[in-house]
Structure 1
Amino acid sequence: MNKVPVPITVVVPSYNQGRFIDETLSSLLDQSYPALEIIVMDGGSTDDTVERLKRYRDRIIWVSERDDGQSDAIAKGFARARDGWLAWLNSDDVQCNRALWEINEVVARNPDAEVVVGKGHYMDEYGGNPRPYPTISVGPKIDVVREIFERGYLAQPSVFFRKSTYVKIGGVNPTLRFCMDYDLWARFALAGCRFVGCDADISGNRWYATTKTAGQTLDLLAEVSAVQARYFGRVSPYFVQAISDNLYQTFHGNHHGDKHHVLYRVLYFKAVWLWFNVRRPLYCLRGLFCETIAKSGPLVGDKLMARDYWRGLLKAIGRPRVAQGR
Structure 2
Amino acid sequence: MSEISPTTVIGISVVVPSFNQGRFIDETIRSLLDQNYPNLEILVMDGGSTDDTIERLKTYGDKIRWISEKDEGQSDAIVKGFARTSKPWITWLNSDDVQSNRALWRVNEAIAANPNAEVVIGGAHYMDADGSNERPYPTIDVGPGIDVKREMFEKGYVAQPSIFYTRALYERVGGLNRSLNFCMDYELWTRFALSDAAFARVDADISGNRWYETTKTAAQTLDLYAEVLATQKRFFGKVSPYYVQAVSDHLYTKFHSPFFGDQKHLLVRWIYFKALWVVFNAPSPWYCGMGLFRYTLAKSGPAIGDAMTCGDWYRGFKSFLRQRFI
Q: Using a 3 Å threshold, how does the CA distance of structure 1 residues 286 and 151 change in structure 2: closer, same or farther?
A: same
Residues 1:291 and 2:295 are matched in the alignment: yes
Partners in 1 of 2:290 and 2:146 — Cα distance?
A: 24
| Structure 2 Cα separation of the partners of residues 289 and 57 of structure 1 | 61
Equivalent pair of 1:9/1:82 in contact (CA under 8 Å): yes
Count of residue pairs the alignment pairs up: 322
Q: CA deviation at 1:315?
A: 7.1
- SS of residue in 1 equivalent to 2:8: coil
Compute the RMSD of aligned alpha carbons.
1.7
Aligned to 1:166: 170
Deviation for aligned residue 1:319: 9.3
Are residues 1:153 and 2:157 paired? yes
Equivalent residue number for residue 90 of structure 2? 86
SS at match of 1:86: strand
In structure 2, which of residues 22, 43, 59 is the aligned counterpart of residue 39 of structure 1?
A: 43
Against the structure 1 CA distance between its residues 314 and 275, is the aligned structure 2 distance closer, same or farther, given a 3 Å change threshold?
A: farther
2:253 maps to 249
**Residues 1:199 and 2:203 are matched in the alignment:** yes
Q: Is this contact kept in 1: 2:13–2:41, CA < 8 A? A: yes
Change (3 A) 1:260 1:82: same
Letter in 1 for 2:89: W
SS in 2 for 1:37: strand
CA contact (8 A) 1:83 1:164 kept: no
1:230-289 deviation line (CA, Å, top 9, x unaligned): 000000000000000001111111110011111110100011111110000000001111
* Cα separation, partners in 2 of 1:97 and 1:66, compared to 1, 3 Å: same
Map 1:1-326 to 2 at 5 A.
1=4, 3-299=7-303, 301-310=305-314, 321=325
Return the TM-score normalized by structure 1: 0.95
Which blocks of at least 5 consecutive residues in structure 2 are unaligned? Answer: none
CA distance in 2, matches of 1:194, 1:252: 44
Deviations 1:155-210 (A, max 9, x none): 11010000011000000001101001000100000000001000111111111111
Normalising by structure 2, we get a TM-score of 0.95
Q: CA deviation at 1:317?
A: 8.8
* Alpha-carbon shift at residue 53 of structure 1 (Å): 0.9
What is the SS of the residue equivalent to 1:279?
coil
Percent identity (aligned):
61
Distance 1:94 1:32 in 2: 15
Deviations 1:281-326 (A, max 9, x none): 000001111110102101364211124345556777999958xxxx
Q: Quick one: distance in 2 between partners of 1:92 and 1:46? A: 16
Q: Is the 8 A contact 2:71 2:77 kept in 1?
A: yes
Q: Please, which runs of 5 or more residues in structure 1 have no aligned partner?
A: none
For 1:6, what is the secondary structure of its paired residue? coil
Moved over 3 A (4+): 307-322
> What is the alpha-carbon distance in structure 1 between the residues aligned to residue 47 and residue 123 of structure 2?
28
For residues 10-47 of structure 1, what are the alpha-carbon distances to aligned partners after superposition, in whole Å with 9 as ceiling and x for unaligned?
00000000011011001101111110000100011110
Q: Which amino acid aligns with 1:140?
A: P
Question: Could you tell me which amino acid in structure 1 is paired with residue 265 of structure 2?
Answer: H
Alpha-carbon separation, structure 1, partners of 2:15 and 2:124: 18
Instruction: Rate the CA distance shift 1:300–1:144 in 2: closer, same or farther, 3 A.
Output: closer
Q: Distance in 1 between matches of 2:307 and 2:116?
A: 38
- 1: CA distance between counterparts of 2:43 and 2:258? 43
Is the contact made by 2:13 and 2:40 (CA closer than 8 Å) also made in structure 1?
yes
